[in-house]
Amino acid sequence: MLVAVAAAMVIDFLAGMAASAKEVVEHPNDEKYGWSSRKGMIGIFKKFGYILVIVASMIVDFLIYKLSGILSVTLPMTMFFSTLVTAWFILNECLSITENAGRMGVKVPAFLMKVIAVLKDTVEHEGNILKEDTEMEETDYEERT
């Protein structure tokens, strides 16, 4: 799965560059379109953040595995959270790849985007093992910049 998420990140980054290049050709005098070093670095930092979250989920899995005997907890698999987190990021990258393809003028089948979104929601649902009165949503810190 780590190879798949790394491949998806690289493909998405390249697809984003290609989509930006196409947009600058279509809108040569509009500065909101096109590739910039700033946008590229923000994308790289974001993907590095993905890796950090995946590593954190692996650490949580390791701790649960090591502490399960002490806590008398039995899980059906030893790598639960890291599998879900990695799958979630792969699906997120797949959505982004299809969006970038759309920006390039590719007609992306609606059913493909829907299947990816449904799978992502399913992974999200499986990860919600802790039920609280208030629902926790994924946090997107990108809005602060």
To the nearest whole number, what is the mean pLDDT of the chain? 85
Burial of 89 (0-12, 13-18, 19+ CB in 10 A): buried
Q: Per the domain annotation, does 132 fall within a domain? A: no
Q: Per the domain annotation, does 122 fall within a domain? A: yes
pTM for the model:
0.78
Confidence of residue 132 (pLDDT cuts 50, 70, 90): low
Q: Per the domain annotation, does 82 fall within a domain? A: yes
Q: Per the domain annotation, does 43 fall within a domain? A: yes
Residues 6+ apart with CB under 8 A from 137: none
Q: Per the domain annotation, does 139 fall within a domain? A: no
- Residue-wise pLDDT for 76-115, tens only, equals 666 688 999 999 999 999 999 999 999 999 999 999 999 9
Q: Per the domain annotation, does 106 fall within a domain? A: yes
The pLDDT value recorded for residue 139 is: 57
- Amino acid of residue 90: I
Number of domains in the chain: 1
Q: Per the domain annotation, does 12 fall within a domain? A: yes
Q: Per the domain annotation, does 141 fall within a domain? A: no
Which residue range(s) make up the domain with 21?
2-127
